[in-house]
Amino acid sequence: MSILTSVYAIADAFDPGRAYWSVETTAGKVWSERSLVPTWTKGIRGVRKLDWLWDIVGTGDIKHLKFVTLHCPDGRKAILEMTEPGERRAKWPAFQFRTRSVGVMGGGDRLEYLVIGRVIDPAVGWCECFIWDYFPKETRDDKGELIYREPNLVAWHSNIHNFGAWRDTMTPLTELNMEVQGFKL
């Protein structure tokens, strides 16, 4: 961990053009992907962004989530409730992931989407999600004029064993990695 790594973490955490997730536990603790966590690596102090696997799954907080929220760059919020009122353990397993793509001709990488979700039927794998799509599908007329742009915030129902595509310009994601997401079905 270097000073440069810490600077990148701080800049990344406060980028207003990026969607991010946050969670609230049943104990009232609020964590956000924008939260900075102190680190100590090879005698050097620094900070890193909160990590889903290390800090939510690794601490066991994944079992005590009350809410998972998707914060959109346009100011909207999409909230998934994970517990029944008064419960201390999450009723539905939560997950989140984002995807980047890399340009072929040196175009760099870009964020494609951020997904938060909950598994509503563990026996089958049905899930409901909110997705911030950085590149929504556009419909244009014969002259190239924009007619319609799909919303960036998408409510989606799918299956964690065969996570489909919510727009026709993307490849379906297939099975999600449950170990990384922090639960077993």
| Whole-Å CA distances, 14 to 1, 8, 35, 46 | 19, 10, 10, 17
What is residue 114's predicted lDDT score, i.e. its pLDDT?
Answer: 92
Q: Quote the CA–CA distance of 181 and 127 in Å, as a whole number.
A: 13
Q: Quote the CA–CA distance of 115 and 130 in Å, as a whole number.
A: 6
Q: Quote the CA–CA distance of 65 and 24 in Å, as a whole number.
A: 6
CA 117 and chain centroid, separation: 8
What is residue 117's predicted lDDT score, i.e. its pLDDT?
Answer: 94
Domain that holds residue 75: 3-181
**Tally of domains within the chain:** 1
Comparing CA positions, the residue from 64, 133, 58 lying closest to residue 93 is: 64
pLDDT in tens, the chain (185 residues): 455 555 555 666 567 788 999 999 999 999 999 888 888 877 777 888 888 888 998 888 999 999 999 999 989 999 999 988 778 888 888 999 988 776 666 555 677 889 999 999 988 889 999 999 988 777 788 888 888 777 789 999 999 988 888 887 777 887 877 665 555 54
Comparing CA positions, the residue from 156, 159, 148 lying closest to residue 114 is: 156
Is the CB of residue 166 less than 8 Å from the CB of residue 154?
Answer: yes
